[in-house]
Structure 1
């Protein structure tokens, strides 16, 4: 199942992670988008892999060892990240969330210093 989590709800979702797991926010935006606006890792690991590169770089997430690792996917508005979460679910990942509203909502709900574009 893929959870739909607003940026303001993300800390609670991450807090519900299995004991001993390191939550991950997977930013699937393009490099130019990362240069425009990005989030600061706070209570989670942050990894940027553009959506189009994910199949080739899936080993960086290691589904065999990290199926229980909570992964919240982030993009600009939440469409690409939902597709990525669905892809990861098909690959055996179990604890997934789409950050609904993406980095745009993040700027509005969590951190007004993050530029909107």
Structure 2
């Protein structure tokens, strides 16, 4: 499974690169803090594949990287080949990029 660091993600955001960010945390977690990704909770990831791009890079994130890895494994079984897991999730984002962001 391909992975991306929070520093690499921040660089993509800063550079305005064309990619999609998917956040697979639950709605209440997303409402507490998010970095602008599309919210598709893990339980609905296979139901909402029509919202996930197949023709540009997709970064999948969660709180720590475990749920996003599970989402990627499910999506790769559906034929997706353009996915990357955000290492450490939003906890790593807080630790390394934005210490002001709320996490739980």
Shorter-chain TM band: 0.7 to 0.9
Q: CA, structure 1 residues 12+93, in 2 after alignment: closer, same or farther (shift >3 Å)?
A: farther
Match of 1:109 among 96, 100, 103: 96
2:48 alignment counterpart: 57
Alpha-carbon RMSD: 2.1
The normalised TM-score by structure 1 is 0.76
Q: Could you report, residue by residue, the CA deviation over 1:11-55 in whole angstroms, capped at 9, with x for unpaired residues?
A: 45679xxxxx83011000001101211114xxxxx2110000111
Structure 1: runs of 5+ lacking an equivalent: 16-20, 41-45
Match of 1:36 among 19, 27, 32: 32
Q: Distance in 2 between matches of 1:10 and 1:28?
A: 16
2:8 alignment counterpart: 9
Q: Secondary structure at the match of 2:72?
A: helix
Q: Could you report, residue by residue, the CA deviation over 1:61-101 in whole angstroms, capped at 9, with x for unpaired residues?
A: 2xxxx433111110000000001111121212212110010
The normalised TM-score by structure 2 is 0.85
